[in-house]
Amino acid sequence: MINTTELPPTINSAEDAPLLPRSDRRSLRRTAVDLVARSRDIIVAIIACLGAMSIGFVVGYSSPALEDDYIKHLLLGPVGRSWFGSLIMVGAIIGGPLGGAFAGRLGRKTTLMLCNVSFAVGWFLIIYATHDAILYTGRYTHTVVCI
């Protein structure tokens, strides 16, 4: 149950005025400055959410990719296609403990930056692949550091 004695009052008891200022030029400037100061936090939050979105791209990529004629040509047979789809889980076996170790030693921010490098390398390998081993390496690179 919420203890109502700890909640802040909505009206300043000394002046009986709302805590939010009325709209005048001075308070509008202060509001604009607060908005600019908070925009950095909003941008950082969006960037942090991009990591989760990138994981979603990696996990969901194999289904439409296996319908592409070029990738079908590189991954001959159902065995190659199943390996292409499942390498992210094989990489997660190593990537989970490795990511935790990196976060503990290097910090969370540095680990997130390393994940972005891993994602970029993985996507470049997949985009410019000329052999099935390069596709597998790109798929595995996505998850070694990041899951």
SS3 (DSSP) at 132: helix
Output the pLDDT for position 146. 62
Across all residues in the chain, what is the average pLDDT? 77
Q: What average pLDDT does the segment 99-121 reach?
A: 84
Angle at 114 between CA 118 and CA 120, to 5 degrees: 30
Q: What average pLDDT does the segment 66-89 reach?
A: 86
CB 107 within 8 A of CB 59: no
Output the pLDDT for position 128. 92
For residue range 13-25, list pLDDT tens digits in order. 555 555 555 555 5
Q: Alpha-carbon distance 30 to 40, whole Å?
A: 16
Longest alpha-carbon distance in the chain: 78
For residue 11, give the H/E element and its range: strand 11-12
For the chain, which residues make up each domain, given as ranges? 55-147
Q: What average pLDDT does the segment 96-102 reach?
A: 86
Q: Say yes or no to pLDDT of 28 above 60.
A: no
